[in-house]
Amino acid sequence: MKKKILIVLLSVFLVSAMTLPAMAQDMTVGVSVDDWFKYEARVTQWESEMEFLPPTFYGPLSLAENQTNFILYTVTDITPVDGGNNVTFSITYDWQNGSVTDGTLVETVTSANENIFMIGANMEEGDMVSDTFDFLGMGFFQYPTRYLNASIDAEYIDGTRETNVCEYSLEMMGTPYDYVYQWDKATGMRAYYENHGEVAESTWSEAYTYTVVWQLVDSSVEGLVIPEFTGLITLSLLIAITILLILHKRKTLKH
């Protein structure tokens, strides 16, 4: 039972170690109060015999990642702390059903950052973005250190911008996961995020395969605008295709 529970818990926060050694450093913030960043989040793949995100679902996905028009983050406060800064964001969720809800995120922009939604500005390949930490403080899983493993020139509407990248794959308790993080180098803000997993059946749910993507589509920061999602298959189409494949498989088995 403990192993099955850990599969669910770890699927939310899985990370992997990078092999490049680097020293911890104080992180600078490349944003200012009132800067805003608009994201689109989509579950671009869902393959399972269970419905999409049933009420009892526990895992690395949320309804906000497929039922919002956009998610807006606005910087409301920047407070210096040991090793960097705490950046506070007000969050606005614009839902497809016409409703709007609000939230708050305090991002710790230091090497103690576990979430890495935002990292330090002007970091270089090989720099550490997140130090090792004890998952939930319970002593049963020690997260490894994460490093930047590339710096690239990413395409934006107004041209290219330097972008820091952290990519990795890992297998945890029989489940493979792939992660891609990209941050604008000048601001440290997330520009792109992708998470793919093939989650085995557990006490909590049937098996499922997923891919979720976050992409920055607009910002008050000059030049920090990238094209909206293009060419992505809609969730409804993915579900329809999956259902057809399941029905065909069952029909074939009967014969």
In this prediction, residue 25 carries a pLDDT of: 61
Tens of pLDDT, residue by residue, the chain (255 residues)? 434 433 333 343 333 333 333 444 678 999 999 999 999 999 999 999 999 988 888 788 888 988 999 999 999 999 999 989 999 999 999 999 999 999 999 999 988 888 899 999 999 999 999 887 775 676 666 677 889 999 999 888 778 899 999 998 877 667 788 989 999 999 999 999 999 999 988 877 899 999 999 999 999 998 887 665 443 333 333 344 344 444 444 444 444
- Looking at residue 173, what is its pLDDT? 67
- Which 8-state DSSP code applies to residue 231? S
Strand partners, 229: none
pLDDT in tens, 134-188: 756 766 666 778 899 999 998 887 788 999 999 988 776 677 889 899 999 999 9
Identify the bridge partners of residue 91 per DSSP, sorted by sequence position.
Answer: 73, 103
The confidence score (pLDDT) of residue 233 equals 35
Q: What is the largest CA-CA distance in the chain?
A: 67
Backbone angles phi, psi at 29, to 5 degrees: -100, 135
User: Which of 14, 11, 72 minimizes the C-alpha distance to 207?
Assistant: 11
Q: How far apart are CA 36 and CA 217, in angstroms?
A: 11
The pLDDT score that the predictor gives to residue 226 is: 67
pTM for the full predicted model: 0.77
With a CB cutoff of 8 Å and minimum separation 6, the contacts of 190 are 37, 39, 117, 118, 181, 182, 183, 214, 216
CA distance 64 to 211: 14
CA dist 46 and 211 (Å) reads: 7
How far is Cα 71 from Cα 36, in angstroms, rounded to an integer? 11
Distance, first Cα to last Cα, the chain? 37
